[in-house]
Amino acid sequence: MTAKFEIPKPDKELIDKANKVKKAYLNNCQADDLQRKKAINYMADALLNNTEKILEANNSDVKSAESKGISSSLISRLRLSKDKLNLGIEGVRKVGQLDDPLGEIQINKELSEGLILQRKTVPIGVIGVIFESRPDAVMQISSLAIRSGNGLILKGGSEANHTNIALVNALKDGLKNSEINEDTICLLTNRKDSMSLLNLENDINLIIPRGSNELVRFIQENTKIPVLGHADGICHIYVDNEVDIDLAIRVSLDSKIQYPAACNAIETLLIHKDIAKEFLNKAIPMFKAKDVKLKGDKISQSFGVKFSANNEDWKTEYLDKVLSVKIVEKLDDAILHIQKFGSKHTDGIITKNDKNAKKFMNLVDSAGVFHNCSTRFADGFRFGFGAEVGISTQSMPPRGPVGLEGLVTYKYFLTGEGQIVEDFSSGKQIFTHRDL
Amino acid sequence: MTAKFEIPKPDKELIDKANKVKKAYLNNCQADDLQRKKAINYMADALLNNTEKILEANNSDVKSAESKGISSSLISRLRLSKDKLNLGIEGVRKVGQLDDPLGEIQINKELSEGLILQRKTVPIGVIGVIFESRPDAVMQISSLAIRSGNGLILKGGSEANHTNIALVNALKDGLKNSEINEDTICLLTNRKDSMSLLNLENDINLIIPRGSNELVRFIQENTKIPVLGHADGICHIYVDNEVDIDLAIRVSLDSKIQYPAACNAIETLLIHKDIAKEFLNKAIPMFKAKDVKLKGDKISQSFGVKFSANNEDWKTEYLDKVLSVKIVEKLDDAILHIQKFGSKHTDGIITKNDKNAKKFMNLVDSAGVFHNCSTRFADGFRFGFGAEVGISTQSMPPRGPVGLEGLVTYKYFLTGEGQIVEDFSSGKQIFTHRDL
C-alpha cells in the first residue's frame, strides 16, 4: 500500500450525481443497437450545431491559460480549432458505426435438458474518466460510453473547464433528441470531486485516466476501483546477432522517432555483442541525423555512443528524442533486462532466427511482443479495433491496446423450467453440457 | 481506502522465494501441453505413493487442533481421510485431462501484407493462494496452476501446517519426475508471510483467497494485486405474480437448503404482493419441515412468517437455514431491492412472463441472472467448466464462476518483415485489417 495521500470522502452532492448517472444507465442498458447508434448521431449533430459556443468557450480557456503562463505544449493540447472540433465530431460518428459490443453470445450451452446457459456481453456500469486538458477526449470517451451502454462521469482539467462544459452541454442536448437519458453523462467541475470520486467504489465500476504517468500512477495507487490504463511505457527493441542491419535500423528508428512522446516508443535498444559494432557504426549517424541523443553502457560508448547511461536510464521513460543503448552477451540477457526494467507494454526483437524470436516472445511478459516490426504499431486503431479506450499494462485482461471490448463485461444468463440442484445430486437428472 | 492495518514489507527471504518461483515459472512457460499433462499425472502418482505420510501428518494436525479446542466444523474440514485424499488425487488427474488453456488463438489478423497479429492465451505468471484449513485446496489449486503454466505460492492455515507440508513435498516429488521445475510450487509456512505477500505486487500477478468472507474482504482491502474471489454471496429469488406456485416453492427451497453454507444459496426471498398470501400459505409448512427459519417484513408476518426481519437482514449472508422474506409491490421494487442489497453474485426470478424475466435479467447487475431454476447452479462444475478457480463478484471479467480461464491471460504477438509506422502515416502502405 503506497497511498500517502488521504483521499476525501465523497460528499452528498457527488453521491447524488453518481446515483443520477447510475439510474440513467440502468434505464439505458435495455436500449438496443439502433437506439444507441441514433443517440450518437444526435450527439454529433449537437456538437456541430454548437460549434460557435464551443469555440468561444475554448478561446476563453486558452486566453486564461496563456495569461497564467501555462506551457505552450499544454496550450496546444487545450486549443480546439474548428478543424480539430470537426475531426472530433467525425470521430463521434465513427464510434456510432462500430459493431455493437453488447449482446455478443460468448457461451451458449445446454447444461441439461431445458436448462440453457448463455454468457453475453453487457455494459460495465458507470465509468469514471479523469483526464487532463484534452477537449477531444470528452467527445471520444462520451461516444464510446454511449455506444457500449454505460454511464459516464467525466472530470477534466480545470484549464479546460469552459470548453468541457460547452462540449458536455452540447452532448446532452443531442441526447435529449434520443431515447438515451441525458443524465447518462455527467461532468464534474469541482477540483475536489476528482479526488473523492476515487472513493466511489460502490457507484463507479471502472476508472479510465487520460493523462500523464504521474496522474495514472496516483489514481492506481489511490483507488479500489479497477483502473484501465498504464503509467510507464518503457519499451525495448532487442537487435539479435542474426539480423538484416538495415532492417534493424529502420525499425529501431521508427520505434523511437515516429512519435517520441508516445507510450509505445522505445526507450532502450538492446544489441547483441556480435553485431553491436557493425550496427552502431551504421546506426549512430542515422540517429544523429534525426536529433536522437544516444546514451550507452561502457561497451557501446567504445563503439561511438557519445553519452553514458546508468541504472536510472534503464528505468526512465524519456518521452523524448533520447535513447539508451546496452550491449548484451546473448538473447537471454536481453530477456532478463526486459524482465527487470520493462513495464509490460510492448517489446520487440529483430532477428532472422525464428527460434530466437519465439523464445523472446514467450519469455517477455509484456502485453505486446513484436518480431521484425516497429513498437509503434501497438495501438487500438492500428490493430484494427476501430477505437482505443486505453492501453493496459496489467497482467490480467484486458491487456494491451483496448478497444470497445474494454467497456463491456459479461453476465451469465441461465434459463430453466424449474430445475433444482438436488435432482442432479441425487442422480435423478444428469448434466449434458452440450454446446449449442 | 479502507485499509486500517499496516501490512508488513516482504523480507528478503520471502522475496527470494517469490523470485525462485518466478524463475521456475519462466522456465516452464514454454512447456507444451503434453509436458504439463504428464507433470500432473506424476503429481497424482506421488500423492498416492505418499498416502501414509500425508495421513500421518494430517492426523497430527487434527490431534493438535482438537487439543486446542478448535470448532468441530473446522476440524471436519481439516481432517483428510484416505477416501478424501483419493478423491483429491482423482481430482488432480481430472485437471490433467482438461483442454489446454494455453495457446488459444483469440485474434488472428493481417494488419497489412506480411504483418500478422495474433492474440493468444498465456499463463498469468505467479499466483498467490491464501487458504484456510482445507488440505484438498492444495491439491486442486496446484494441479490447476501447473495445467495453466503458472507459478504458485501457497499459504495455508497454520492448523493444517503438517498436512500442507506433506502434500506439497509429495507434489514436488512428482514434479521431479517431470519436465516442470519443482520450484514452480512454493509453500509458505510462516504466518507473517501471508500478510507480507499482499505487498509483493511486483512478483505476484493474482491472488486467490479461499476461505471466509472476512479473509477475502481483508485481502481485497489490503493489496494492490488483483484478487479473484468474492466476499459476500447475498443471493435473491424473486417470485413474480405470474407463477406456478409449486415450481416457485421447489426452486426457492432448493436455492436455500440444498447447501445452506454455500455462497450461491439464497438469503432473501422477494415475493410479489398479489401472490404472497397463496405462496406463503403453501411454502411456510414446507420450509418449516426442512427446519428453515423464516424472517419477514410486516406483511409477510401477517401471512404467517413467524420472525421479523429488519434492514440488517437484507444485507446478511446467513450461510445457514435462515431466510428473510419481503413482499414487494411490483417487479421494479424487487429489482431495486437487489440493486441496493445484493452482492452481484447470483439472483433469480420465477415467472411465466418472459418479458418480466428479460427485464429482471437485464436490470439486475449480478454475475448470474437466473430464470426458473435454482441459484445453486452457479458453479464452475455445473456450468461444465471442468474446474472452478473461484467465483468473482466484480463487474469486470472474469466474473461469476471462473474455470481455468481465470488462470490465463493473453498477449499480442505481432510478426512482420520490417514494417514501420511512418510508411502508414505517409500513405506509402495501407492497413488491410483482414481476419485470417
Q: Which residue has the cell 485431462?
A: B97
Digit-coded pLDDT (tens) for B213-248: 888 889 988 888 999 988 788 999 999 999 999 999
Q: Do B411 and A382 touch (CB under 8 A)?
A: no
Question: What is the distance in angstroms between the Cα of B294 and the nearest Cα belonging to chain A?
Answer: 21
Of B109, B383, B409, the CB nearest to A395: B409
The reported pLDDT for the residue numbered B419 is: 98
| A29-58 per-residue burial string, b: 16 or more CB within 10 A, e: under 16 | bebeeeebbbbbbbbbbbbbebbeebbebb
Q: Which residue has the cell 492495518?
A: B5
In Å, how far are A336, B70, B148, B163 from B25, measured between CA atoms? 14, 37, 11, 25
Dihedral over Cα of B5, B8, B9, B15: its sign: negative
Question: What is the distance in angstroms between the Cα of A413 and the nearest Cα belonging to chain B?
Answer: 5
The count of CB pairs under 8 A between chains A and B is 233
Check whether B29 has a pLDDT greater than 90: no
Q: Do B258 and A421 touch (CB under 8 A)?
A: yes
A121 touches chain B (CB under 8 A): no
Of B373, B378, B424, the CB nearest to A416: B373
Q: Hey, is B356 helix, strand or coil?
A: helix
The reported pLDDT for the residue numbered A27 is: 80
Rounded to an integer, the average pLDDT of B159-182 is 96
What the block records as the C-alpha cell of A91 is 470521430
Distance CA B203, CA A212 (A): 25
Query: Which residues of chain B does A424 touch, with a Cβ-Cβ cutoff of 8 Å?
Result: 382
| Contact between residue B321 and residue B291 where contact means Cβ atoms under 8 Å apart | yes
Rounded to an integer, the average pLDDT of B297-304 is 97
Residue B45 contacts by C-beta under 8 Å, 6 or more apart in sequence? B174, B177
Query: Which residues of chain A does B290 touch, with a Cβ-Cβ cutoff of 8 Å?
Result: none
In Å, how far are A17, A133, A392, A409, B92 from A223, measured between CA atoms? 19, 22, 16, 20, 38
Digit-coded pLDDT (tens) for B36-95: 999 999 999 999 999 999 999 999 999 999 999 888 878 888 999 999 999 999 999 999
Selected residues 359-378 of chain B with any CB under 8 Å from a CB in chain A: 359, 361-363, 365-374, 376-378
| Contact between residue A366 and residue A392 where contact means Cβ atoms under 8 Å apart | no
Half-sphere exposure of A189 (CA within 13 A, CB side): 11
Digit-coded pLDDT (tens) for B344-386: 999 999 999 999 999 999 999 999 999 999 999 999 999 999 8
- Residues A315, A318, A321: CA angle, nearest 5 degrees: 140
What the block records as the C-alpha cell of B111 is 494488419
Q: Do A412 and B115 touch (CB under 8 A)?
A: no
| B248-285 per-residue burial string, b: 16 or more CB within 10 A, e: under 16 | bbbbbbbbbbbebebbbbbbbbbbbeebbbebbeebbe
Check whether B426 has a pLDDT greater than 70: yes
Q: Which of A202, A223, A366, A395 to mutate to test the interface with B (most CBs of B within 10 A)?
A: A395
| Contact between residue A359 and residue A238 where contact means Cβ atoms under 8 Å apart | no
The reported pLDDT for the residue numbered B387 is: 85
Q: Do B124 and A395 touch (CB under 8 A)?
A: yes
Give the strand pairing for A115-123 and A408-419. antiparallel
Distance CA B404, CA B387 (A): 7
Q: Where in chain B is the domain with CATH 3.40.605.10?
A: 12-221
B416 touches chain A (CB under 8 A): yes
* Selection from B403, B413, B12, B238 nearest residue A399 by Cα: B413
What the block records as the C-alpha cell of B270 is 422477494
Question: What is the distance in angstroms between the Cα of A175 and the nearest Cα belonging to chain B?
Answer: 21
Q: Do B412 and A244 touch (CB under 8 A)?
A: no
Of B373, B397, B419, the CB nearest to A414: B373
Q: Do B374 and A421 touch (CB under 8 A)?
A: yes
Q: Do B254 and A411 touch (CB under 8 A)?
A: no
A339 touches chain B (CB under 8 A): yes
What the block records as the C-alpha cell of B271 is 415475493
Strand partners, A327: A271
A4 touches chain B (CB under 8 A): no
Distance CA A28, CA A11 (A): 26
Per-residue pLDDT tens listing for chain A (436 residues):
344 567 888 889 999 999 999 999 988 778 999 999 999 999 999 999 999 999 999 999 999 999 998 888 788 889 999 999 999 999 999 999 999 999 999 999 999 999 999 999 999 999 999 988 788 889 999 999 999 999 999 999 889 999 999 999 999 999 999 999 999 999 998 877 878 899 998 899 999 998 888 888 899 888 889 999 887 889 999 999 999 999 999 999 999 999 998 999 999 999 999 999 999 999 999 999 999 999 999 999 999 999 999 999 999 999 899 999 999 999 999 999 999 999 999 999 999 999 999 999 999 999 999 999 999 999 999 999 988 888 999 899 999 999 999 999 999 999 999 999 999 999 999 999 999 9
CATH class of A12-221: alpha beta
A125 touches chain B (CB under 8 A): yes
User: Does the B235-377 domain belong in CATH 3.40.309.10?
Assistant: yes
Q: Where in chain A is the domain with CATH 3.40.309.10?
A: 235-377
Band of pLDDT at residue B3, cut at 50, 70 and 90: very low
| A121-133 per-residue burial string, b: 16 or more CB within 10 A, e: under 16 | bbbbbbbbbbbbb
Distance CA B116, CA A382 (A): 12
Distance CA A64, CA A68 (A): 6
Band of pLDDT at residue B2, cut at 50, 70 and 90: very low
Q: Based on the number of CB atoms within 10 Å of its own CB, is B45 exposed (0-12), middle (13-18) or buried (19 or more)?
A: middle
